Structure 1
Amino acid sequence: MIDYVGEFAIPEGWAIEAEEDDLWVLCCADGDRYAHVAYYSVVPGVLLLDIDLKCHRLPQFELGRRTFMTVNWCTQGRCEASSPQRGSTVVDEGLLCISSSVARTCSYPTGSYRGYELVVELDKVMEEPGVFGQFGIRFGDLEKRLCRPAYALTVEPPEACRHAMQAIADILDTKRPDRNAMRAAVCLLFAGFANIDPARSRVSSSYLQKSQRELAQMLHDAILEDPTAPSPVSRIANAHGISEASLRGYFVRIYGTAPTAFARGLAMGRAAKLLANTDEPVGDVALSCGYVNPSKFSAAFKKEFDVNPLEYRRRSRLESRG
């Protein structure tokens, strides 16, 4: 099956957990990284990936000169598709992304992702349509209409596609996925593409260039280093000659949240750990998370976790006792 998808180097810390004729599972449990990716051969020329990970990037296949269509749909987190020609676009939760996989890579900017991907070798399925032909699916027509060169087409999935996507998810959630049901659901998904209107999709407007993406990453890393420090937005924006509004916009498009909300979430996460694992007074926890006023800290904490800090501590202690 690895020969089918192309050359593939297994990086350190990753391993193939299981391998069969139509399935193999790539895993990683290395420090803070976790990944479990199942690759199913639906029919010759079509791979279905079931992706569950807590890391920022998967190992990449070398696809050679073959032409592929890739379909991503995200159920949790965010998937970033990049190409040298256009830069980066991000697939939000619930959206469908269709693209040519030529010179395209995927990453996961939030470091946590759950979703699915279909990889279609177009020459193979157009030469031998098989079950797709029975459903009236013509991949040559889909390629011309939906796979624009160097673009990723990001859309709200039509109802027929949503039903097919849910069917695929339900099938993969079983202990031994039914291959016939899987093939039928994948066919229904591609049949639903007839209802996708590229004119109503988000194409060029959602792209970030490499330099813009790097600035968003720089801001992300600065906040991650110390979420309680004064906002680094103005410092980074001034140092690179861009407006603060532009920098905030780059950040939101990549990470799906404003820099202030991201910093607050990190600070509240730190507070939750201190409340659960130490006996520090709430006022001291507030100070360690950048809040001088305990009342403002309590309000922010309750907004994040729906309970006040003392109640959170009480519940955490009860849970730890079993």
Structure 2
Amino acid sequence: MKIDDIIRKCIEVPGISIKRSNFSAELLMKTKEGKGSMTFFPLFPGLTLAYIFVNSQAWAAPNIRKDSSIEKGPLLLNYCVTGRCELILNNENFVYVKDGEISLTERFARKQYVYPRRIYEGMEFFVDIDTLTAQSAWVRKEFDIDFRKIIDIFCPNGNTYISTVTPEVEEILTRLWSLFDVSIPFSISQMKVYALALFSLLQSLHDIPSSQACTFFTETQVDIAKRVEKIITSNLRQHHPAWELAARFSVSETSLKNYFRGVFGQNISVYLREVRMKKAAELLVTTRLSVAGVAEQVGYVNQSKFAAVFKKQFSLSPLEYRRSKNLENR
């Protein structure tokens, strides 16, 4: 499927709009759950680079094929800069790509692109092999890059490849990432150079890191983790012991904790503490609640303990944080 077809399908999804320029197409997502942007730069016919910035737990996926929830499409190379994204493997299990990792796959998201930590930044290449072969044959001739060979190396039998990047690959990806803020059209030329260098390097790697022996999670296990996250964050004043949550879902406490850590990348206690501190920071700036009032709203009975945790998180006491933000907003 061509990238233009994918973009057209994307803007059929409620909450998604598009902004075009001479060199790019930017998809903008704004819903009650969050917002985000995907900026597509066509580098060559059949090869497109997208820069992704998301502040949301999910981005609704377009309906690529009505009769199936999973579609084999272009080769997708994803590089996670910050955050965490969810991928579905060909055995229908789930796995998560985190900071500093790349994935190569030919599989689309089923219903939505999922970012469990609600923050995601990264890059994604869309490689349409048929279009490249028909319209960009010179790439293979001049640079000896065979994209079908890359698929055979990294995604045999429809598998998904996930690995921490090697230093050589990371250097190229870091340079590509820095180009997003460089003036156009100079950055486009540089993107093309580094894109060709990236795929040439991937094709010629002698010691290819094995796809990580990731912990896979079933749809049921992922669902439990996400329901637990919703329960513990829906009312921060309430406390839910892990044993209570495990009993609710008829699993062991150890299993529950493993599911949660696998999906969200953190222990339940650490994740919840960060959510509480983020909400506390928001309340300090947007309300006139006392520090004790803010502490109570995010589940702390002891104001001193709340202040200590807050200072550890933000390197400022709650009152210092409020004053500094008020000065910034003047």
Unaligned runs of 5+ in 1: none
Which shows bigger deviation, 210-219 or 189-198?
A: 189-198
Number of the residue aligned with 1:14: 16
Cα contact 2:311–2:318 (8 A) shared by 1: yes
- When normalised by structure 2's length, the TM-score is 0.86
Q: Which residue of 1 aligns with 2:98?
A: 92
What RMSD in Å do the two structures reach over aligned CA positions? 2.7
CA 1:8–1:285 in structure 2 vs 1: closer, same or farther (change >3 Å)? closer
Give every structure 1 segment of 4 or more consecutive aligned residues whose post-TM-superposition deviation is greater than 6 Å: 63-66
**Cα distance, 1:209–1:32 mapped onto 2, change above 3 Å:** closer
Choose from 266, 272, 275 the match for 1:257. 266
Q: Which residue of 2 aligns with 1:184?
A: 193
Cα offset, 1:213, TM superposition: 0.7
Matches within 5 A, 1:1-322: 3=4, 5=6, 8-9=9-10, 10-18=12-20, 20=22, 23-55=24-56, 56-60=58-62, 62=64, 67-83=73-89, 85-101=91-107, 106-126=113-133, 128-178=136-186, 179-193=188-202, 194-195=204-205, 197=207, 200-203=210-213, 205-320=214-329, 322=330
CA contact (8 A) 2:73 2:108 kept: yes
Counterpart secondary structure, 1:98: strand
User: Does the 8 Å contact 1:233/1:244 carry over to 2?
Assistant: yes
CA distance 1:277–1:144, change in 2 (3 Å): closer
Amino acid at match of 1:269: K
Distance 1:217 1:31 in 2: 18
The number of equivalent residue pairs is 319
SS of the aligned residue for 1:154 comes to: strand
In the alignment, the residues of structure 2 paired with residue 175 and residue 199 of structure 1 have an alpha-carbon distance, to the nearest angstrom, of 35
Identity %: 25
Quote the Cα distance in structure 1 between the aligned partners of 2:205 and 2:257: 35
Question: Under a length normalisation based on structure 1, what TM-score does the superposition of the two structures give?
Answer: 0.87
Q: In 1, distance between residues paired with 2:286 and 2:28?
A: 31
Distance 1:261 1:119, change over 3 A: same
State the alpha-carbon separation in 2 of the partners of residues 70 and 196 from structure 1.
Answer: 22
Post-superposition CA distance 1:109-159 (Å, at most 9, x none): 222211110011223435654224423322222111101335321111122
Deviation for aligned residue 1:175: 3.2
Q: Distance in 2 between matches of 1:138 and 1:85?
A: 27
**C-alpha separation between the residues in 1 aligned to 2:248 and 2:207?**
42
